[in-house]
Amino acid sequence: MTTRHLVATLALIASILPARLSGFSIVAYNVENLFDLDGIASYEDYSSDKYTPRHLLVKARNAAKVLSTVDSGRGPDVVILNEIEIDQTPDATGLKAADWLDSVKSRTLEEVLSTSPLPPATASLPAELWLLKALEDAGLGRYHVVVPDETPGSHEDGRSRSVKNVILSRFPVTAVKTHHTLNARAILEAQLNVNGHSLTVFANHWKSGAGDIESERIRMANARTLRDRLNEIFKQHPLADVILAGDFNSHYNQTLRYPNFKKSAINQVLGSQGNETALKSGKADLYNLWFELPAEKRGSDVYQNKWGTLMHLIVSRGLYDNTGLQYEDNSFGVLAIPALNADPLGRPLRWSCGKYPSGFSDHFPILARFRVADAKSSDQWMPLTKLSTADAGNVPPIRKVSVEEIFATAINPANEPPNTDFRKPEWLGKVFLIEAPAQVGKRGVVTIDLKGITYNVFSPDKTTRDRLRELAKIHSKLRFHAQLNIFKGAWQFFLPNVDWILEKD
């Protein structure tokens, strides 16, 4: 663990939008790979021949559009970000973020990126600076930016360290710590001064592979790193105001979701739980805000047509007492915005880094609101409505994406003009009813011919892929519902599972 402070203050306090005394908002957002433009990256998709200034413009602007929906366009007061590139070419010039932002203040992000070619020093600017510029363009003002003491290299398993956590704050940052942890992104800790009150925020991005038991063992180490630090804080201040946020690569009901796990990192090791009364009694020191929502509304991501809750905002016991800062009861929500970052099925409209950059992220951001406590007594507790008393025994089962209503409104290409080319951004993410000639090509890839253009047909589910191949061999046409996507520059129709295939009578 290092205590090296890496706070890049973007402007004087007076130039940063002050948080409202009546309350403030916090968002956790995995932006799905925001990279710089120098072409030196550990992911192939972000090499110079594939990732252009246009890609970065779309990516940063789209993230800013989502954050601009918070608080009537004002944006959140604190943002916890995941998957910001660890700069593979760190700048040794000592350039301050505020100085660069001031130097481009008279130009928009698009104008800055239109310079061709981009000077190498500009192309290698840290990825978070481009997002900050997009936020300024969108009217959100400037933030303090907190980054971890994390450099290019490899994790313990040999995989490259590619992305990091970042915290943006309108509040002054008084302390920063980086907590390195096994085979995952370093946990970033920042202490904020919120109108005279101390708030500690932890940005997390634990080891991926939520359902894999070997990965869970690594997440347990990630959780222990965080839990040990929390124990230090709570030993000194049992009612400290603390927020744990980010992509934990775990579900709030992890142990129930995967019964073969004897214990989970997030539940048993960290202590995340869903009983608000346990906070008042002192039986628990953490509460997971997913329990604020009805079971049918819990979901920040979709995998194999099942909703998951990999993103989390977890609050400490101190945010329920009547001193310092408080959580605003029942204020937790998911930033799933129809016609913006949600597809027609209500799922995250994920980032596509192909020839036509589009989309947002494979995770929805999550949000909660907080305020300065009305009283100054730590032995009194805020009143609660819709009290959550959930425990491991009554967590609801996994819910699936509902598709019936979407199928009823699917686009039928036969109803579009004969020369319609669907390979355009405005068609991405739309659900289609397809009936078209099909064939099985090399490596078993199924393709269809639609209005004279060839499209791949893909499913992540092996049963669905096998059935598509079988039907393509015995019928002159395939009939199915699918979503139009791009994968590595190739246009494809995407089927989540076999229910999307319309069998012949």
What's the mean pLDDT in 328-357? 88
- Give me the percent of the chain exceeding a pLDDT of 90: 67
CATH number at residue 67: 3.60.10.10
What's the mean pLDDT in 456-476? 91
Q: With respect to residue 3, please indicate whether it lies within any of the assigned structural domains.
A: no
Q: With respect to residue 113, please indicate whether it lies within any of the assigned structural domains.
A: yes
* DSSP assignments along 423-444, one per residue: -SGGGTT-EEEEEEEEEE-GGG
Same domain, 71 and 220: yes
With 0-12 / 13-18 / 19 or more C-beta atoms within 10 angstroms meaning exposed / middle / buried, residue 24 is: buried
What are the backbone angles phi and psi of residue 404, rounded to the nearest 5°? -60, -45
Q: Label residue 189 by pLDDT band (50, 70, 90).
A: very high
Q: With respect to residue 142, please indicate whether it lies within any of the assigned structural domains.
A: yes
pLDDT at 8 over 90: no
What's the mean pLDDT in 348-360? 85
Same domain, 366 and 486: no
What's the mean pLDDT in 147-158? 93
CA distance 366 to 332: 7
CA distance 298 to 96: 40
Same domain, 93 and 204: yes
pLDDT at 340 over 50: yes
Same domain, 279 and 134: yes
Q: With respect to residue 386, please indicate whether it lies within any of the assigned structural domains.
A: no
Q: With respect to residue 393, please indicate whether it lies within any of the assigned structural domains.
A: no
Two structure tokens written together for 218 = 């690594």
Please give the radius of gyration of the chain, using alpha carbons only, rounded to the nearest integer: 24
**Crossing angle of helices 53-67/127-137, nearest 10°?**
60
Contact status, residue 161 vs residue 152, Cβ threshold 8 Å:
yes
pLDDT at 12 over 50: no
- List 487's β-bridge partners, or say none: 490
Same domain, 361 and 455: no
CA distance 412 to 399: 28
CA 13, chain centre distance (Å)? 28
Q: State the residue range of the domain holding 221.
A: 20-381
Helix (H) and strand (E) counts in the chain: 10, 23
- Give me the percent of the chain exceeding a pLDDT of 70: 93
Mean pLDDT in the chain?
Answer: 89
pLDDT at 18 over 50: no
pLDDT for the residue numbered 11:
34
What's the mean pLDDT in 394-413? 77
Q: Quick one: which of 334, 491, 499 has its CA closest to 427?
A: 491
3-state secondary structure 198-255: EEEEEEEECCCCCCCHHHHHHHHHHHHHHHHHHHHHHHHCCCCCEEEEEECCCCCCHH
pLDDT for the residue numbered 408:
84
CA distance 230 to 276: 19
CATH number at residue 422: 2.40.50.330
Q: With respect to residue 392, please indicate whether it lies within any of the assigned structural domains.
A: no
Q: Quick one: which of 459, 434, 464, 460 has its CA closest to 449?
A: 434
Among the residue ranges 66-70, 270-274, 354-358, the one predicted with the least confidence is: 354-358
pLDDT for the residue numbered 10:
33
Same domain, 240 and 307: yes
Q: With respect to residue 493, please indicate whether it lies within any of the assigned structural domains.
A: yes
What's the mean pLDDT in 431-459? 92
Same domain, 337 and 446: no
Same domain, 349 and 408: no
491 or 404: which leads in pLDDT:
491
pLDDT for the residue numbered 174:
98
CA 293, chain centre distance (Å)? 19
- CA dihedral in degrees (149, 155, 158, 161; nearest 10)? -50
List pLDDT tens digits, range 30-80: 999 999 999 998 888 899 888 999 999 999 999 999 999 999 999 999 999
Same domain, 446 and 375: no
Q: With respect to residue 505, please indicate whether it lies within any of the assigned structural domains.
A: no
Q: Label residue 140 by pLDDT band (50, 70, 90).
A: very high
Among the residue ranges 72-81, 149-158, 163-172, 325-334, the one predicted with the least confidence is: 149-158
How many domains does the chain divide into?
2
Same domain, 349 and 409: no
E strands within 335-417? 366-372, 377-381
E strands within 325-452? 325-327, 333-334, 366-372, 377-381, 431-440, 446-450
Same domain, 409 and 377: no
Q: Label residue 98 by pLDDT band (50, 70, 90).
A: confident
CA distance readout (Å), 409 to 47, 336, 406, 502: 39, 20, 5, 15
Same domain, 173 and 64: yes
